[in-house]
Amino acid sequence: MTTHERLHPGDLAEVRTPGEILSTLDPNGTLDGLPFMPEMIEFCGKQFSVSRRVLKTCMSGSAPSTMRGINGNDVVILDGLRCSGVSHDGCQKECMIFWREAWLRKPTRSHHRPQFDLESSEKLRARLKTVNGPQTYFCQASEIPKFTKPFARSERFTACISDVRSGNCTAAQMMRRIGIWLFWKIRRLAAGEYARGSSKKTPTGTLNLSQGETIEVKSIQEIVLTTNGRAHNRGLYFSPDMGLLCGREARVRTHLDKIIVDGTGEMRQLKDTVYLEESMCGCAHVAFGGCPRGEFAYWREIWLRRRAERLDSKRA
């Protein structure tokens, strides 16, 4: 893609044909370290709106505020496109997919959408790597260290300015993100983690929740009984933004059994954990300037209760 065809939030982009994409990839199926995954093939030839340009990304699992810069200035997110995990043993992480601009084009009025070519699709699929070894997988999440770089402190400020200039957010929105981060940074230094408890061995709780069930998030007073001094329950962090849902109802989006770990490719098994509808990672609470990755927040079932349990407790 030539530089004058740079994509910006709100632009319409068409995913190039499998043959065109194949020509951009190295033997591992990556472009500048960023994998093109088999789950992305179904989008070839289709058009989507650009959600934002990707200048930085969180890397979850290593620390609450780990932020890294993207190598190159040519990565975007397309509105609503997430990885299904179907080619990675059913991983349920549902990562937002990163796209190099070389894999996209701006459609024109005279441009005819190409027909889906099964033969070139199979050639592309054969190039794409999905495993690193017997117990590890190869995907955009596993390869984050390969297509990103550590941020120097000064670069964090520059990235915030670039977010505004690229159209990812307004100056007011960025100032709000920085204000949220600053508040929780000061609070953490003064009083420790928001949901920190005193448990040395954090407890488990099983509800066997199913998709579509309506639940209530427990109060913060109940949640701290399940966390340690770092606000973790069996390694899972209860972040400050999750406290906004305490005492409120939500619907279960899906039950989580396994996800691929950022940076390692390990498939991690989960128990008693769910996604809740419209409960996204509040990255601005823990990372300076926020992150475009749009991950779902992870909820332990011990932090939740069924509505029937609440009604029974009131009757008692």
> What is the full DSSP assignment across the chain?
--GGG---TT-EEEEPPHHHHHTT--TTSEETTEEPPGGGGGGTT-EEEEEEE-SEEE-TTT-TT-EEEESSS-EEEEEEEE---TTTTT----PEEEEEGGGEE---TTPPPPPP-HHHHHHHHHH---EEETTEE-STTTTHHHHEEEPPHHHHHHHHHHHHHTTSS-HHHHHHHHHHHHHHHHHHHHH--TT----SS---------TT-EEEEPPHHHHGGG--TTSEETTEE--GGGGGGTT-EEEEEEEEEEEEPTTT-BEEEEEEEEEETT-B--GGGTSTT--S--PBPPEEGGGEEEHHHHHHHHH-
- Return the pLDDT at 110: 64
- Return the pLDDT at 209: 96
- Return the pLDDT at 151: 83
Point out the domain boundary residue: 159, 178, 199. Answer: 159
- Return the pLDDT at 10: 95
- 122 pLDDT above the threshold of 70: yes
- 114 pLDDT above the threshold of 90: no
Any domain includes 203: no
Share of the chain above pLDDT 70, in %: 92
Point out the domain boundary residue: 122, 142, 159. Answer: 159
- Return the pLDDT at 5: 75
Which residue is listed with tokens 């079932």? 301
- Return the pLDDT at 62: 47
Same domain membership, residue 145 and residue 9 = yes
Same domain membership, residue 144 and residue 230 = no
Any domain includes 116: yes
pLDDT (mean) for 122-148 = 95
- 3 pLDDT above the threshold of 50: no
pLDDT band at 4 (very low <50, low <70, confident <90, very high): very low
Same domain membership, residue 246 and residue 154 = no
- 261 pLDDT above the threshold of 80: yes
pLDDT (mean) for 60-76 = 78
Same domain membership, residue 224 and residue 126 = no
Same domain membership, residue 92 and residue 10 = yes
Domain that holds residue 113: 3-159
Most confident of 5-9, 10-14, 152-156: 10-14
- Return the pLDDT at 58: 87
CA distance 84 to 43: 12
Q: What is the pLDDT of residues 286-296, one digit of tens each?
A: 888 988 888 99
Same domain membership, residue 250 and residue 145 = no
Higher-confidence residue of 161 and 153: namely 161
Any domain includes 89: yes
Same domain membership, residue 140 and residue 220 = no
Same domain membership, residue 123 and residue 38 = yes
Q: Residues 7, 14: contact at Cβ < 8 Å?
A: no
Q: Residues 29, 39: contact at Cβ < 8 Å?
A: no
Q: Residues 272, 300: contact at Cβ < 8 Å?
A: yes
- Return the pLDDT at 307: 78
pLDDT band at 154 (very low <50, low <70, confident <90, very high): confident
pTM of the model: 0.90
Name the token pair of 296: 């779902």
- 157 pLDDT above the threshold of 50: yes
Same domain membership, residue 243 and residue 136 = no
- 173 pLDDT above the threshold of 90: yes
- 87 pLDDT above the threshold of 60: yes
Higher-confidence residue of 213 and 151: namely 213
Any domain includes 272: yes
Same domain membership, residue 47 and residue 146 = yes
Same domain membership, residue 111 and residue 231 = no
Any domain includes 229: yes
Any domain includes 254: yes
Same domain membership, residue 88 and residue 11 = yes
- 64 pLDDT above the threshold of 60: no
Q: Residues 155, 69: contact at Cβ < 8 Å?
A: yes
Any domain includes 169: no
Task: Domain count for the chain, please give it.
Answer: 2
Any domain includes 175: no
